[in-house]
Structure 1
Amino acid sequence: MAALLLGLATSTAALAASGGNLQQAGTDLGDRASLQRGAQLYMNYCAGCHSLKYVRYSRMAEDLGLSEEEVMENLNFTGAKFGETIGVSMPAGPATEWFGKMPPDLSLISRVRTSDWVYTYLKSFYLDETRPVGWNNTLFPNASMPNPLWQLQGLQHAEFGKVDAATGERPVTGLKVTQPGTLDAQGFDQVARDITAFLEYAGEPAALKRQSIGVWVILFLALLTFLAWLLKKEYWRDVEH
């Protein structure tokens, strides 16, 4: 119990340190269309910098209902073979020069941070001229990463509160899109949700099959329980109580 309470306290502290309340992602791994859109969005906006070293193109095609031709023509921009894992097209040298180090692999980001964290992070970028890349993030402050989806979301600015006497800084109280992108707020929410769903899938591809057979497992256990009950009745039928 003490370990559980310590874990909860640590999680709460980490959440507070990362920027406050998380928004509900509302992902559905049973929505194949969302996963397909998420894969396309990830490959176009994220895979240039972030690899998925535990996911193979062939496995993704099988799980998401895509053909080899569709994957290789529309989702593979590195020249990798169909059976290879998803890498990045950006060389390590320029990545280190621009961002200080190679951007991390995101195969397990949803399992480590949770899907709600990923969803909130994608929506929490704002322009910040004090940062080297010109962007900041309320959930993950001072991250060395620009907003990859700014053309879709638009330019988002932070709204600041009063100066904190303890830190001398003005806390961010809200975010506002000052220059609209190609999508409205609802459309961008769906984009963030689709990418989050795809990353949730990438963290555990087996989850799709596990959920699909879960119903049959429950039915089997129910049938087995019923048969066991009938067998028990048969054994005790002639026993006097």
Structure 2
Amino acid sequence: MKLLKKMIAVLAIAPALAMANSGTFPLDRAPDRATDIPALQNGAKLFVNYCLNCHSASAMRYNRLKDIGLTDEQIKQNLLFTGEKVGDLMKTTLAPKDAKEWFGAVPPDLSVIARAKASGDGTGADWIYTYLRTYYKDDTRPTGWNNMVFPNVGMPHVLWELQGTRTVKMVEESDPHDESKKVHKFAGFETVKPGTMSKIEYDNAVGDLVAYLQWMGEPAQSTRKRLGGWVILFLASLATLAWRLNASYWKEVK
């Protein structure tokens, strides 16, 4: 019952979370790696190392990672760090009170975040993929970081060591609605300090993480789609049989 309440709470705040990106920053298309097992495994590793410190995924158990090719031993050796068991739920050790004090709000549960972030601008995967790649240094913010997709975000850039430190470049242009006014337009990022990954490597890593978040939102998605195809084929065959049987019956009546 507690788990059900948490999932309902996440879904209830989903519209508000999606509206957080009320700006016009364009979303990049996230790579489709739903069936790429190595990518999903790497995404799971990134999730446990960088996301699970503050966020929970209380609808997911560690042993469900066996669905993406990991064994119990691999899970124990590589993804369990604080005494959890393979059958435990993915929960953070961060106390809600501390989280609220440090970040201003309790970090949301990420079990279905890829589905919650879906909007008219693109899929939830597109939103997360762009969001994790558009952080920049902003000393006016309490955390020292800001984001182009989610302006004034409270979450710091947890992947900054991988991506490096960047600032935004802005250019001044005339307001298209009033030429007497000037507006500042985004003109790209400028690297201040390189990270441990190149741009391509970082984009690939984020793509793997996003793929895992998508998978985690519905681990049975591939099975559902595969079974759906067979069900449609069965129904089509049944409909054809019924149609021919109906024609045969009416032929006798005539």
The answer to whether the 8 Å contact 2:21/2:150 transfers is no
Aligned residue for 2:106?
A: 102
1:120 paired to 2:125 = no
Moved more, 166-175 or 152-161: 166-175
Change (3 A) 1:66 1:157: same
**SS at the partner of 1:60?**
helix
Give me the whole-angstrom Cα distance separating, in 1, the residues matched to 2:100 and 2:227: 44
Aligned residue for 2:69?
A: 65
Q: TM-score, normalised to structure 1's length?
A: 0.82
Change (3 A) 1:100 1:168: farther
Aligned residue for 1:217?
A: 231
Q: Which one of 140, 153, 178 corresponds to residue 130 of structure 1?
A: 140
Change (3 A) 1:159 1:91: same
What is the Cα deviation at residue 132 of structure 1? 1.5
Aligned residue for 2:120?
A: none
Give me the whole-angstrom Cα distance separating, in 2, the residues matched to 1:209 and 1:175: 41
What is the Cα deviation at residue 37 of structure 1? 1.3
Give me the whole-angstrom Cα distance separating, in 2, the residues matched to 1:198 and 1:149: 16
What stretches of structure 1 of length at least 5 have no aligned partner?
A: 1-9
1:89 paired to 2:97 = no
Amino acid of the structure 2 residue aligned with 1:207: Q
Aligned residue for 2:213?
A: 199
1:161 paired to 2:171 = yes
1:1-23 per-position Cα deviation (integer Å, ceiling 9, x unaligned): xxxxxxxxx99x94862452111
Q: Which one of 160, 163, 180 corresponds to residue 150 of structure 1?
A: 160
Aligned residue for 1:24?
A: 29
Q: Which one of 51, 56, 59 corresponds to residue 51 of structure 1?
A: 56
**SS at the partner of 1:226?**
helix
Aligned residue for 1:183?
A: 197
Give me the whole-angstrom Cα distance separating, in 1, the residues matched to 2:24 and 2:211: 22
**SS at the partner of 1:161?**
strand
Aligned residue for 1:3?
A: none
Q: TM-score, normalised to structure 2's length?
A: 0.79
The answer to whether the 8 Å contact 1:78/1:87 transfers is no
Amino acid of the structure 1 residue aligned with 2:155: M
**SS at the partner of 1:45?**
helix
Change (3 A) 1:164 1:76: farther
Give me the whole-angstrom Cα distance separating, in 2, the residues matched to 1:229 and 1:181: 64
The answer to whether the 8 Å contact 2:130/2:149 transfers is yes
**SS at the partner of 1:74?**
helix
The answer to whether the 8 Å contact 2:173/2:185 transfers is yes
Q: Which one of 172, 178, 188 corresponds to residue 186 of structure 2?
A: 172
What is the Cα deviation at residue 171 of structure 1? 4.8
The answer to whether the 8 Å contact 2:111/2:217 transfers is yes
Aligned residue for 1:6?
A: none
Give me the whole-angstrom Cα distance separating, in 2, the residues matched to 1:187 and 1:99: 29
1:120-147 per-position Cα deviation (integer Å, ceiling 9, x unaligned): 1111100111112111101111112221
What is the Cα deviation at residue 55 of structure 1? 0.9
Give me the whole-angstrom Cα distance separating, in 2, the residues matched to 1:218 and 1:23: 33
**SS at the partner of 1:238?**
helix
**SS at the partner of 1:39?**
helix
Amino acid of the structure 2 residue aligned with 1:29: A
**SS at the partner of 1:141?**
coil
Give me the whole-angstrom Cα distance separating, in 2, the residues matched to 1:198 and 1:36: 8
